[in-house]
Structure 1
Amino acid sequence: MSNDLPWRPRVLPSAVLRHDRARGADVLLLPERVVVLHGSGRAVLDLCDGSRTVDEIAGLLSDGADAPHVRHELSSFLHRLRTEGCLR
């Protein structure tokens, strides 16, 4: 796969998204670690199935007027999770 193609983020196959009643929050469960999701984190990761680019996900999540801000925040969030080994 070429590095110049738009990134299509995908949650790792070994990860599980679920709601944790004890924490009262959605979580991303990975081997030996739990990532607690806040705000729209779950909605974002539900869209990270490898079929959509970051721009496409941002378009689905924004109302149009706020698209540049949503794109910036989304990109930052996804790259942080990628760096931590949660996304491909």
Structure 2
Amino acid sequence: MSDLSKVPQFNRLFRLQFEPAQDSFVLLFPEGMVKLNPSAGAILEQVDGDSSVAGIINKLQSKFPEAGDLTPDVCDFLITAEEKKWIYYA
């Protein structure tokens, strides 16, 4: 992803929520549910329709400073999330 100023938004068919029974974030959609790993949950938790990709990366870098440069991992995940139609860019 070359444009870090893009702002991801959730597809209206998907809703992110923390599921205590699963002890993880999940994406709910009409046909079911996707259980997310901790990294995916942390990234999607930052998708608010206002924060750019750069802003999301900055928030995650502050939250996980020991992780090093998160830019490639976050960008790769957001590409996958867009391919799966979980998010889009307005």
- What TM-score range do you get, normalising by the shorter chain? 0.7 to 0.9
TM-score under structure 1 normalisation?
0.75
| Correspondence list, 1:40-79, <5 A | 40-63=39-62, 66=68, 69-79=69-79
Query: Percent of aligned positions with the same letter in both sequences?
Result: 27
Aligned length: 83
- What is the deviation of 1:22? 4.1
* CA distance in 2: counterparts of 1:85 and 1:27, whole angstroms: 15
Contact 2:4 2:52 in 1 (8 A): no
Aligned to 2:84: 84
TM-score under structure 2 normalisation?
0.74
Aligned to 1:35: 34
- What is the deviation of 1:20? 2.9
In structure 1, runs of 5+ residues without a counterpart are none
Give the superposed CA RMSD: 2.3
Moved over 6 A (4+): none
Normalized per residue, which structure has more strand?
2
In structure 2, runs of 5+ residues without a counterpart are none
Aligned to 1:6: 5
Where relative contact order (Cα < 8 A, 6+ residues apart) is larger, the structure is 2
